[in-house]
């Protein structure tokens, strides 16, 4: 087995590469910037220069690989950016994978994905899912809820509670989610490469605990030993602020992310992943403890 990973230098992707190499699987990673692949190479992964928008580099990257893990996505951008990176990029990768005789294609989608999603991200994810399912390749698609880890969003939430005497919560704070630890996501991906029960199926992924935003911030405060006041910011105000600052370097929030927070609960409705894979999952309190230190 040799696995091509796209998006392997990212938050989730680096943990997937680490999990694959921990099992001594041969891994090749598509990278735009070779400098970002040094840690992955230190784990024994091979770097393949290229990018998702370059069909020829995809063909070179997938040549000789038996499996593909596709993690590339963007959160913000113009509609044409989502089409280029996510929709068209996935189509090109699938074509390359079919030409190379790939045996299994594992794709990362997102919980909340629908054809009429409220933001371009969800609509592009839906298009990607449909392309993967129609490709003729044996596939597994995962739809995780919020993914927590030492990178990503959780450290930002912890910093808010650690340093701000008044913590802002967007909306009424009652939207529920089911955060899953990043290494648990990586374990699902790794298992899916071999699991026959996972072929041509889509799985929703969540951690052991369901929590709303008010409860999440309260739990962080408790584990930090902090007493904090919480102020709820109306969605319209949060969206206006995000629109004004979202293109600045290091902007904390994009308007589309505010729209996502205003949507339906982000929780698992189908327990098939737990039933098929049976993985032990990190509880939410332990997830937070690992970031709090």
Residues of the chain with pLDDT under 70: 248, 250-252
Could you tell me the two tokens for 191? 């298992």
- The β-bridge partners of 166 are 229
At 50-67, the pLDDT tens digits run 999 999 999 999 999 999
Contact 210, 146 (CB under 8 A): no
C-alpha Rg value of the chain to the nearest Å: 19
**According to the model, what pLDDT value does residue 279 have?**
97
Which pLDDT score, from 0 to 100, does residue 250 have? 66
| 110 contacts 122 by C-beta, under 8 angstroms | yes
| Cα–Cα separations (whole angstroms), residue 181 to 52, 93, 161, 242, 253 | 26, 27, 20, 27, 22
Query: Model-level pTM?
Result: 0.95
Which of these CATH numbers, 3.30.300.130, 3.40.30.10, 3.30.300.30, 3.40.50.720, describes 2-147+181-205+268-281? 3.40.50.720
Please report how the helices 213-224 and 284-292 are oriented relative to each other, as an axis angle in degrees rounded to 10. 50
Question: Tokens 């950016």 appear where?
Answer: 81
Q: 105 — phi, psi (to 5°)? A: -125, 115
pLDDT score for 197: 97
Burial letters for 62-94: b for 16+ Cβ neighbours within 10 Å, e otherwise? Answer: beebbbbbbbbbeebbeeeebbbbbbbbbbbbb
- Residue 256 pLDDT: 84
Model pLDDT, residue 260:
85
Domain boundaries, the chain: 2-147+181-205+268-281
Are the beta carbons of 192 and 198 closer than 8 angstroms? yes
Helix (H) or strand (E) segment spanning residue 251: none
Contact 74, 37 (CB under 8 A): no
Encode pLDDT of 204-232 as tens digits. Answer: 999 999 999 999 999 999 999 999 999 99
H-helix or E-strand spanning residue 142: strand 139-144
Predicted confidence at residue 5, as pLDDT, reads 98
**Secondary structure of residue 39 in the 3-state scheme:** helix
Residue pair 185/15 in contact by the 8 Å Cβ criterion: yes
């Amino acid at each position: 087995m040799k696995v091509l990973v796209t998006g392997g230098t990212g938050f989730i992707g680096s943990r997937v590469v680490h999990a694959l190499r921990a099992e001594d699987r041969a891994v090749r990673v598509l990278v735009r910037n070779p400098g970002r692949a040094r840690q992955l190479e230190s784990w024994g992964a091979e770097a393949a220069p290229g990018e998702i928008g370059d069909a020829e580099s995809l063909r070179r990257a997938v040549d000789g690989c038996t499996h593909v893990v596709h993690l590339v996505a963007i959160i913000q951008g113009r509609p044409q950016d989502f089409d280029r990176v996510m929709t068209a990029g996935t189509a090109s990768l699938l074509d390359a994978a079919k030409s190379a005789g790939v045996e299994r294609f594992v794709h990362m989608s997102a919980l909340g994905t629908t054809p009429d999603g409220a933001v371009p991200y969800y609509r592009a994810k839906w298009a990607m899912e449909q392309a993967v399912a129609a490709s003729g390749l044996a596939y597994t698609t995962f739809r995780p809820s919020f993914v927590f880890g030492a990178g990503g969003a959780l450290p930002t939430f912890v910093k808010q509670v650690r340093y701000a005497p008044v913590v802002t919560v967007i909306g009424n704070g009652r939207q529920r989610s089911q955060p899953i630890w990043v290494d648990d996501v990586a374990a699902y991906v790794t298992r899916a490469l071999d699991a026959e029960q996972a072929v041509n199926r889509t799985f929703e992924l969540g951690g052991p605990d369901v929590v709303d935003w008010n409860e999440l911030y309260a739990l962080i405060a408790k584990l930090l030993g902090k007493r904090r006041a919480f102020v709820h910011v109306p969605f319209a105000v949060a969206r206006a602020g995000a629109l004004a600052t979202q293109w600045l370097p290091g902007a904390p929030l994009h308007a589309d992310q505010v729209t996502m927070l205003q949507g339906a609960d982000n929780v698992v409705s189908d327990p098939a992943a737990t039933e098929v894979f049976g993985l032990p999952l990190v509880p939410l309190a332990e997830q937070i403890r690992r970031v709090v230190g």
